Structure 1
Protein backbone atom coordinates (compact mmCIF):
# COMPACT_ATOMS: atom_id res chain seq x y z
CA UNK A 1 0.00 0.00 0.00
CA UNK A 2 2.80 2.40 0.92
CA UNK A 3 4.62 1.61 -2.33
CA UNK A 4 1.47 2.49 -4.30
CA UNK A 5 1.21 5.80 -2.47
CA UNK A 6 4.85 6.60 -3.17
CA UNK A 7 4.39 5.70 -6.84
CA UNK A 8 1.23 7.79 -7.03
CA UNK A 9 3.06 10.79 -5.53
CA UNK A 10 5.99 10.33 -7.90
CA UNK A 11 3.82 10.09 -11.00
CA UNK A 12 1.71 13.04 -9.86
CA UNK A 13 4.82 15.14 -9.34
CA UNK A 14 6.13 14.04 -12.72
CA UNK A 15 2.92 14.99 -14.49
CA UNK A 16 2.65 18.29 -12.67
CA UNK A 17 6.27 19.20 -13.38
CA UNK A 18 6.02 18.39 -17.07
CA UNK A 19 5.96 21.69 -18.91
CA UNK A 20 4.85 21.20 -22.48
CA UNK A 21 6.97 23.17 -24.90
CA UNK A 22 5.94 23.79 -28.44
CA UNK A 23 2.66 21.97 -27.92
CA UNK A 24 -0.81 23.25 -28.26
CA UNK A 25 -2.44 24.54 -25.08
CA UNK A 26 -4.76 21.54 -25.13
CA UNK A 27 -1.90 19.04 -24.73
CA UNK A 28 -1.48 18.89 -20.99
CA UNK A 29 -0.64 15.54 -19.36
CA UNK A 30 -1.98 16.77 -16.02
CA UNK A 31 -5.41 16.47 -17.64
CA UNK A 32 -4.91 12.70 -17.30
CA UNK A 33 -4.51 12.80 -13.51
CA UNK A 34 -7.93 11.18 -13.09
CA UNK A 35 -6.48 8.11 -14.85
CA UNK A 36 -3.47 7.83 -12.56
CA UNK A 37 -5.05 5.28 -10.21
CA UNK A 38 -6.30 2.98 -12.97
CA UNK A 39 -2.95 3.19 -14.78
CA UNK A 40 -0.84 2.52 -11.69
CA UNK A 41 -2.98 -0.04 -9.88
CA UNK A 42 -5.28 -1.47 -12.53
CA UNK A 43 -8.54 -0.24 -10.99
CA UNK A 44 -11.40 0.42 -13.42
CA UNK A 45 -11.40 3.94 -14.87
CA UNK A 46 -14.33 6.24 -14.14
CA UNK A 47 -16.15 8.57 -16.53
CA UNK A 48 -13.81 11.43 -15.65
CA UNK A 49 -10.77 9.40 -16.69
CA UNK A 50 -12.36 8.31 -19.97
CA UNK A 51 -13.45 11.85 -20.75
CA UNK A 52 -9.95 13.18 -20.05
CA UNK A 53 -8.32 10.46 -22.10
CA UNK A 54 -10.61 11.17 -25.04
CA UNK A 55 -9.82 14.89 -24.77
CA UNK A 56 -6.09 14.20 -24.74
CA UNK A 57 -6.21 11.60 -27.53
CA UNK A 58 -4.66 13.95 -30.14
CA UNK A 59 -1.70 14.42 -27.78
CA UNK A 60 -0.87 10.76 -27.16
CA UNK A 61 1.89 10.66 -29.80
CA UNK A 62 3.55 13.63 -28.14
CA UNK A 63 3.32 11.93 -24.75
CA UNK A 64 4.71 8.71 -26.21
CA UNK A 65 7.74 10.58 -27.50
CA UNK A 66 8.49 11.89 -24.00
CA UNK A 67 10.61 9.33 -22.09
CA UNK A 68 9.16 10.47 -18.76
CA UNK A 69 5.59 9.75 -19.91
CA UNK A 70 5.88 6.97 -22.48
CA UNK A 71 6.34 4.20 -19.91
CA UNK A 72 2.94 5.04 -18.45
CA UNK A 73 1.21 5.35 -21.83
CA UNK A 74 2.71 2.03 -22.96
CA UNK A 75 2.01 0.14 -19.74
CA UNK A 76 -0.36 -2.83 -19.68
CA UNK A 77 -2.74 -1.00 -17.33
CA UNK A 78 -2.78 2.09 -19.56
CA UNK A 79 -3.71 -0.09 -22.51
CA UNK A 80 -6.53 -1.63 -20.45
CA UNK A 81 -7.76 1.86 -19.55
CA UNK A 82 -7.62 2.96 -23.18
CA UNK A 83 -9.49 -0.15 -24.30
CA UNK A 84 -12.13 0.33 -21.59
CA UNK A 85 -12.56 3.97 -22.62
CA UNK A 86 -12.55 3.04 -26.34
CA UNK A 87 -9.53 5.23 -27.08
CA UNK A 88 -6.96 3.63 -29.39
CA UNK A 89 -3.30 3.93 -28.50
CA UNK A 90 -1.73 5.35 -31.67
CA UNK A 91 1.22 3.86 -33.50
CA UNK A 92 3.47 6.86 -33.80
Structure 2
Protein backbone atom coordinates (compact mmCIF):
# COMPACT_ATOMS: atom_id res chain seq x y z
CA UNK A 1 0.00 0.00 0.00
CA UNK A 2 2.76 2.40 0.96
CA UNK A 3 4.76 1.64 -2.22
CA UNK A 4 1.75 2.27 -4.47
CA UNK A 5 1.08 5.59 -2.74
CA UNK A 6 4.70 6.64 -3.29
CA UNK A 7 4.52 5.57 -6.95
CA UNK A 8 1.29 7.53 -7.43
CA UNK A 9 2.84 10.61 -5.85
CA UNK A 10 5.86 10.29 -8.16
CA UNK A 11 3.60 10.12 -11.23
CA UNK A 12 1.66 13.19 -10.09
CA UNK A 13 4.89 15.13 -9.54
CA UNK A 14 6.14 14.19 -13.02
CA UNK A 15 2.85 15.21 -14.64
CA UNK A 16 2.86 18.55 -12.83
CA UNK A 17 6.46 19.18 -13.85
CA UNK A 18 5.59 18.46 -17.49
CA UNK A 19 2.59 20.80 -17.30
CA UNK A 20 4.81 23.61 -16.02
CA UNK A 21 7.27 23.09 -18.88
CA UNK A 22 4.40 23.26 -21.38
CA UNK A 23 3.14 26.48 -19.86
CA UNK A 24 6.60 28.05 -20.08
CA UNK A 25 6.64 27.94 -23.89
CA UNK A 26 6.67 31.35 -25.51
CA UNK A 27 4.49 31.17 -28.61
CA UNK A 28 6.43 32.64 -31.48
CA UNK A 29 5.74 31.49 -35.03
CA UNK A 30 9.17 32.72 -36.08
CA UNK A 31 10.56 29.79 -34.05
CA UNK A 32 9.29 27.58 -36.87
CA UNK A 33 11.36 29.36 -39.54
CA UNK A 34 13.72 26.38 -39.68
CA UNK A 35 10.79 24.37 -41.08
CA UNK A 36 9.98 26.65 -44.01
CA UNK A 37 11.99 24.71 -46.58
CA UNK A 38 10.49 21.39 -45.48
CA UNK A 39 6.95 22.81 -45.56
CA UNK A 40 7.30 24.57 -48.92
CA UNK A 41 9.15 21.76 -50.70
CA UNK A 42 9.51 18.02 -50.41
CA UNK A 43 12.79 18.17 -48.49
CA UNK A 44 12.86 16.33 -45.15
CA UNK A 45 12.69 18.41 -41.96
CA UNK A 46 15.93 19.11 -40.15
CA UNK A 47 16.57 18.10 -36.54
CA UNK A 48 16.26 21.76 -35.59
CA UNK A 49 12.88 21.97 -37.34
CA UNK A 50 11.61 18.91 -35.47
CA UNK A 51 12.80 20.22 -32.12
CA UNK A 52 11.11 23.56 -32.77
CA UNK A 53 7.83 21.87 -33.77
CA UNK A 54 7.89 19.86 -30.55
CA UNK A 55 8.71 22.99 -28.57
CA UNK A 56 5.93 25.01 -30.21
CA UNK A 57 3.33 22.20 -30.12
CA UNK A 58 1.26 23.90 -27.37
CA UNK A 59 1.00 26.95 -29.66
CA UNK A 60 -0.10 25.25 -32.89
CA UNK A 61 -3.85 25.70 -32.28
CA UNK A 62 -3.26 29.39 -31.64
CA UNK A 63 -1.38 29.62 -34.94
CA UNK A 64 -4.16 27.80 -36.76
CA UNK A 65 -6.68 30.37 -35.52
CA UNK A 66 -4.63 33.14 -37.12
CA UNK A 67 -5.73 33.48 -40.78
CA UNK A 68 -2.27 34.69 -41.86
CA UNK A 69 -0.53 31.68 -40.32
CA UNK A 70 -3.22 29.09 -41.00
CA UNK A 71 -2.59 29.07 -44.75
CA UNK A 72 1.00 27.94 -44.13
CA UNK A 73 0.45 25.64 -41.16
CA UNK A 74 -2.72 23.89 -42.31
CA UNK A 75 -1.21 22.32 -45.45
CA UNK A 76 -0.50 18.73 -46.42
CA UNK A 77 3.26 19.39 -46.33
CA UNK A 78 3.08 20.92 -42.85
CA UNK A 79 1.12 17.89 -41.66
CA UNK A 80 3.72 15.61 -43.25
CA UNK A 81 6.56 17.51 -41.56
CA UNK A 82 4.84 17.27 -38.18
CA UNK A 83 4.25 13.55 -38.70
CA UNK A 84 7.86 12.98 -39.77
CA UNK A 85 8.98 14.78 -36.63
CA UNK A 86 6.76 12.57 -34.47
CA UNK A 87 4.47 15.42 -33.46
CA UNK A 88 0.81 14.67 -34.13
CA UNK A 89 -1.01 17.50 -35.85
CA UNK A 90 -3.37 19.08 -33.31
CA UNK A 91 -7.13 18.82 -33.37
CA UNK A 92 -8.27 22.26 -32.36
Q: Tell whether the structures are fold-level matches, with TM greater than 0.5.
A: yes
How far is the alpha carbon of 1:72 from its aligned partner?
Answer: 1.2
The residue matched to 1:26 in structure 2 has which SS? coil
What are structure 2's unaligned runs of at least 5 residues? 1-23
**In structure 1, what is the equivalent of residue 3 of structure 2?**
none
Separation (CA, whole Å) in 2 of partners of 1:42 and 1:54: 20
**In structure 1, what is the equivalent of residue 41 of structure 2?**
41
What are structure 1's unaligned runs of at least 5 residues? 1-23
Larger radius of gyration: 2
Q: Specify whether residues 50 and 25 from structure 1 end up closer, same or farther in structure 2 by C-alpha distance, changes over 3 A only.
A: closer
How far is the alpha carbon of 1:64 from its aligned partner?
Answer: 0.3
Q: Specify whether residues 25 and 50 from structure 1 end up closer, same or farther in structure 2 by C-alpha distance, changes over 3 A only.
A: closer
> For the Cα contact (< 8 Å) 2:82–2:89, is it kept in 1?
yes
**In structure 1, what is the equivalent of residue 27 of structure 2?**
27
The residue matched to 2:91 in structure 1 has which SS? coil
Greater helix fraction, Structure 1 or Structure 2: 2
Q: Say what the alpha-carbon RMSD is for the aligned residues.
A: 1.3
The residue matched to 2:33 in structure 1 has which SS? helix
**What TM-score results when the alignment is normalised by the length of structure 2?**
0.71
**What TM-score results when the alignment is normalised by the length of structure 1?**
0.71
